[in-house]
C-alpha cells in the first residue's frame, strides 16, 4: 500500500515527464522552423538582383540625344599640348564691302546685325562712274548690233554672188570685234555693280552671313576703296592656337584636339601648322578645324585648346585623357559609360589630375574602348530612371 508521500512523489514524476515531453516537442518544432525561415529569407524577392546596371540605347537614339562617343587612346594629360587659341573667320567666311567708285551713299538696306544673303545689295552709291560705265555698255551694244546686221547683209550678197568673199570675211571680223567690246562692257557693269537705271553702284555681299560692322552713313561722300560694311558667317570659323617651338615640332596635321567653349568641350583636328615662328610671339600657329557643328563662336574670341600628338612621344600607357563631362559621379564613385553593342555600361574608374576641361583616367578602362563624352550626364539620368523602375 502506497502512502500519501509516495503518491505525491509519483504525481511529481509524472508531471515532470509531461513537461519534458512538451518542451522537447517545442524545441524540435523551433529547430525545424528555423531553417525554413532562413530558406525563405534567402530567397530573392527582386528578379533583377543579378542584373548589371546598364543603359540600352540604339545608335539612332545616341545621335538624336547628342551623346558623343570617344575612343580611348594611351596618353595622360602630359601627352597633350595645351595652347591659347583664338577664333578667326575662314577665308571664305568673312568679307569687307567697300566702295568701288567715288560717290554719295543714297541708300542703305541693312543695319548692324542684320542677316544678308550672297549677292544681296546692302547699299547703293550714286556715282558718275556708274553713268560712264553704263554709257559705254550702251555704245558697245549698239556697235555689236550694227556689226551683226552688216554681217547678215554681206552673207546674203555673197551667197547671191554679188560681193567677194573678202567683204564677207571683213564683216565677220568687225562683228567679232564688236561682240568682244560688248562682253567687256557687260563685265565692267557686273564688276562695278551698276544699278538697273545706270545711275548708281550697288554694294553687294559676296557671302551669306550677318553684318558685323557698318560704317556707312546715308548721304556721305565716299572714295573708291572705302570700307562700308563687314559681313561674317558664324558657321565658317576656325581656331588658331599658338604653340611654343618645342611643342610645335610634335604637332602634325590630323592630330586630334579639344577646344574649351562656354557650352563645353568640342572636338577638333589640326588642319595645318605654320613652318616658322611669329617674330613677336615666338610661337607657331596651329589651325584647328571643328569636327562637328560650331557652337556660338565669334571671331576674336579667346579659347583654350589641347592638342594630342598622334606620335605619342610622351604618351603614358594605361592613362587616358577625357573631357571632364565623361566622368560622372554615381553613389559617390567616379564612373564612365562604356559603349557596347546595345548601349552603355557604367564602369567605375579611378581618376587622376584635372585641367583645361580634361580629366586623367588612370584605371578601369583600356585603350581602344569607346566611352561617352559630351552628353554622359544624360546616360546617368537614364540609369537613374531604370533603377527607379526596378525598385517599383
Provide the pLDDT confidence category of residue 389 given band limits of 50, 70 and 90. low
Kindly report the CA angle at 204 between 200 and 209, in degrees rounded to 5?
155
Provide the pLDDT confidence category of residue 26 given band limits of 50, 70 and 90. very low
pLDDT of residue 51: 63
Q: Are residues 216 and 290 in the same domain?
A: no
Rounded distance between C-alpha atoms, residue 261 and residue 303, angstroms: 7
Look at residue 116 and tell me whether its pLDDT is greater than 50.
Answer: yes
Residue 154: give its domain's CATH number: 2.40.50.100
pTM of the model: 0.51
Look at residue 271 and tell me whether its pLDDT is greater than 50.
Answer: yes
In this prediction, what percent of the chain has a pLDDT beyond 90? 22
Q: Where are the alpha helices (DSSP H) in the chain?
A: 4-42, 59-65, 128-159, 165-192, 245-248, 376-391
* Residue 4 in domain: no
Q: Are residues 118 and 182 in the same domain?
A: yes
Rounded distance between C-alpha atoms, residue 242 and residue 307, angstroms: 11
* Residue 366 in domain: yes
Q: Are residues 249 and 176 in the same domain?
A: no
* Residue 6 in domain: no
Look at residue 354 and tell me whether its pLDDT is greater than 90.
Answer: no
Interhelix angle 165-192/128-159, nearest 10 degrees: 160
Residue 244: give its domain's CATH number: 2.40.30.170
Indicate the residue among 259, 288, 307 that finishes a domain.
307
Q: Are residues 293 and 220 in the same domain?
A: no
* Residue 38 in domain: no
Range of the domain at 285: 81-91+235-307
Q: Are residues 98 and 199 in the same domain?
A: yes
Mean pLDDT taken over the chain:
79
Indicate the residue among 307, 322, 348 that finishes a domain.
307
Rounded distance between C-alpha atoms, residue 266 and residue 296, angstroms: 12
Q: How many domains does the chain have?
A: 3
Residue 70: give its domain's CATH number: 2.40.420.20
* Residue 23 in domain: no
* Residue 278 in domain: yes
148-158 pLDDT, tens per residue?
999 999 999 98
Q: Are residues 85 and 149 in the same domain?
A: no
Mean pLDDT, residues 375-381: 85
283-314 pLDDT, tens per residue?
899 999 888 766 678 788 888 888 888 765 45
Q: Helices then strands (H, E): number in the chain? A: 6, 23
CB 295 within 8 A of CB 261: yes
Q: Are residues 278 and 217 in the same domain?
A: no
Q: Are residues 142 and 245 in the same domain?
A: no
Rounded distance between C-alpha atoms, residue 95 and residue 118, angstroms: 11
Indicate the residue among 193, 211, 232 that finishes a domain.
232
* Residue 29 in domain: no
Look at residue 219 and tell me whether its pLDDT is greater than 50.
Answer: yes
Provide the pLDDT confidence category of residue 390 given band limits of 50, 70 and 90. low
Q: Where are the alpha helices (DSSP H) in 43-127?
A: 59-65
pLDDT of residue 130: 82
Look at residue 250 and tell me whether its pLDDT is greater than 60.
Answer: yes
Amino acid at each position: 500500500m502506497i502512502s500519501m508521500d509516495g503518491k505525491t512523489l509519483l504525481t511529481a514524476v509524472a508531471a515532470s515527464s509531461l513537461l519534458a515531453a512538451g518542451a522537447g516537442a517545442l524545441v524540435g518544432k523551433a529547430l525545424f522552423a528555423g531553417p525554413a525561415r532562413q530558406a525563405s529569407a534567402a530567397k530573392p524577392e527582386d528578379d533583377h538582383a543579378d542584373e548589371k546596371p546598364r543603359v540600352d540605347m540604339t545608335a539612332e537614339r545616341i545621335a538624336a540625344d547628342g551623346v558623343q562617343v570617344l575612343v580611348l587612346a594611351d596618353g595622360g594629360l602630359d601627352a597633350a599640348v595645351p595652347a591659347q587659341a583664338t577664333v578667326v573667320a575662314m577665308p571664305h567666311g568673312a568679307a569687307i564691302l567697300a566702295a568701288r567708285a567715288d560717290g554719295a551713299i543714297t541708300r542703305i538696306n541693312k543695319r548692324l546685325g542684320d542677316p544678308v544673303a550672297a549677292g544681296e545689295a546692302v547699299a547703293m552709291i550714286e556715282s558718275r562712274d556708274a553713268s560712264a560705265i553704263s554709257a559705254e555698255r550702251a555704245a558697245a551694244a549698239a556697235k555689236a548690233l550694227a556689226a551683226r546686221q552688216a554681217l547678215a547683209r554681206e552673207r546674203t550678197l555673197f551667197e547671191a554672188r554679188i560681193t567677194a568673199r573678202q567683204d564677207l570675211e571683213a564683216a565677220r571680223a568687225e562683228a567679232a570685234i564688236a561682240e568682244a567690246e560688248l562682253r567687256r562692257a557687260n563685265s565692267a557693269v557686273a564688276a562695278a555693280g551698276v544699278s538697273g537705271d545706270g545711275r548708281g553702284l550697288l554694294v553687294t555681299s559676296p557671302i551669306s552671313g550677318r553684318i558685323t560692322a557698318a560704317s556707312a552713313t546715308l548721304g556721305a561722300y565716299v572714295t573708291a576703296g572705302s570700307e562700308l560694311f563687314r559681313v561674317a558667317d558664324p558657321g565658317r570659323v576656325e581656331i588658331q592656337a599658338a604653340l611654343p617651338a618645342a611643342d610645335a615640332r610634335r604637332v602634325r596635321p590630323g592630330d586630334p584636339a579639344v577646344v574649351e567653349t562656354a557650352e563645353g568641350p568640342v572636338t577638333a583636328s589640326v588642319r595645318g601648322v605654320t613652318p616658322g615662328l611669329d617674330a613677336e610671339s615666338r610661337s607657331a600657329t596651329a589651325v584647328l578645324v571643328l569636327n562637328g557643328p560650331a557652337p556660338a563662336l565669334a571671331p576674336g574670341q579667346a579659347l583654350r585648346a589641347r592638342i594630342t600628338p598622334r606620335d605619342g612621344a610622351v604618351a603614358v600607357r594605361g592613362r587616358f585623357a577625357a573631357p571632364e563631362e565623361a566622368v560622372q559621379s554615381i553613389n559617390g564613385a567616379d564612373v564612365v559609360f562604356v559603349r557596347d553593342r546595345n548601349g552603355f555600361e557604367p564602369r567605375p574608374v579611378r581618376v587622376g589630375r584635372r585641367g583645361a576641361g580634361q580629366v586623367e583616367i588612370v584605371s578601369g578602362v583600356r585603350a581602344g574602348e569607346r566611352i561617352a563624352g559630351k552628353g554622359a550626364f544624360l546616360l546617368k539620368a537614364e540609369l537613374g530612371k531604370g533603377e527607379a523602375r526596378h525598385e517599383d
